[in-house]
Amino acid sequence: MEKQQGHIHPLSRTMDEIVRILAELGFEVALGPEIETEHYNFDALNVPKDHPARDVQDTFWLKPSSLDGSPDRLKGGLGMKGVEQLLLRTHTSPVQVRYMEKHKPPYAIVVPGKVYRYEATDATHETQFHQVEGLVVGENITLAQLKWTLQTFFKKLLGNDVIMRLRPSFFPFVEPGVEVDISCFLCHGKGCGVCKHTGWIEVMGAGMVHPNVLLSGGVDPRKYTGFAFGMGVDRLVMIKYGIEDVRLLYAGDLRLVNQF
């Protein structure tokens, strides 16, 4: 009888690889809860009260009573003060503030984890997906250091011939904010279906940590600066392995996993 052997799922494999590369660059792994408070997921990250991301159509909100009867250690672990709205975190960024509150700069952390969005599923959207977040805070941290870090990261992940570019963009938690593109590693910039014939693939949002976010974490923005970046891992896996439907990553079909 043929021996059955286990395989590491392409998502886990890519997450591990990303974390390993960033660890080599001096980043320490930090984790946070998937059930979050509105404070850490939005308020502390400078997301305006009327921002569409807070809408019931984008975020899984938990019923206010969800934690009634839960042990106090769970409530304490979430840092809850009184009655607070709970949700499934929509990004890994809450961990930035949670970490800042407990540590004195300088530090560099990498945060891998699951995140959730309330949206219809199709070939490119799932309600659950994976992110890896990076945060560096210290004295005299600059955008140039962010650029070097990301460039070095992508060369280690995808090979030395990958080219990276930054485009100005807006995210409430950074100022200035940038969108990070890499040269398409399938067509090498010539243009193909994956890069929509532009030669570039958008892979990440990043920027200098907004002073309000530093303040939320108890960090003095007059003394310290920082940069942060966040990437969706599922999309990267799909592009890297030529998987056309994100739902396949979660279907538990061994025909997919056995290919890796």
- The residue ranges that bind Zn ion (CB under 5 A) are 184, 186-187, 192, 195
The residue nearest Zn ion at its CB is: 184
**What's the token pair of residue 53?**
């991301």
CB of 195 or CB of 204, closer to Zn ion: 195
CB of 184 or CB of 219, closer to Zn ion: 184
What's the chain's Rg over C-alpha atoms? 19
Alpha-carbon distances, residue 120 vs 36, 81, 113, 127, 173 (angstroms): 22, 33, 21, 7, 26
Residue whose entry in the numeric block shows the structure tokens 């019923």: 63
**Shortest Å, Cβ 85 to Zn ion:** 42
**Shortest Å, Cβ 189 to Zn ion:** 7
Residues 241 and 49: their CA atoms lie apart, in Å, by 39
Least Cα distance to 18 among 174, 158, 201, 188 occurs for 158
Residues 121 and 118: their CA atoms lie apart, in Å, by 9
Q: Is 3 within 8 Å of 221 (Cβ atoms)?
A: no
CB of 150 or CB of 195, closer to Zn ion: 195
Residues 72 and 202: their CA atoms lie apart, in Å, by 42
CB of 143 or CB of 187, closer to Zn ion: 187
**Shortest Å, Cβ 52 to Zn ion:** 31
**Shortest Å, Cβ 192 to Zn ion:** 3
**Shortest Å, Cβ 131 to Zn ion:** 24
CB of 133 or CB of 181, closer to Zn ion: 181
Q: Is 241 within 8 Å of 11 (Cβ atoms)?
A: no
